[in-house]
Amino acid sequence: MKGKRGRLKWGLGIVIGLFLLLTGLFAYNGVENKNLDQNARTVVGSSFIELDRGVVHYYLEGPDEAPLVVMIHGFSVPSYVWEPTAEFLNRNGYRTLRLDLYGRGYSDRPDTVYDITLFEDQLAGLIDVYN
Same structural domain for residues 50 and 96?
A: yes
Do 51 and 83 fall into the same domain? Answer: yes
Residue 62: is its pLDDT beyond 90? Answer: yes
**pLDDT value of position 31:** 45
Does residue 119 have a pLDDT over 50?
A: yes
106 plus 72 within the same structural domain = yes
Please name the residue ranges forming H helices in 2-115: 2-29, 38-42, 83-91
Instruction: Give per-residue pLDDT as tens, 9-36.
Output: 777 778 777 666 666 555 544 445 556 6
Does 101 score more than 80 pLDDT?
yes
Q: Over range 61-74, report the average pLDDT.
A: 93
Same-domain status, 94 and 70: yes
The rounded percent of the chain whose pLDDT value lies above 70 is 75
Residue 57 and residue 85 in one domain: yes
Domain that holds residue 23: 2-31
pTM here is 0.69
Same-domain status, 8 and 53? no
Looking at the 3D structure of the chain, how many domains does it have? Answer: 2
Residues 47 and 94 in one domain: yes
Average of pLDDT values for 39-60? 84
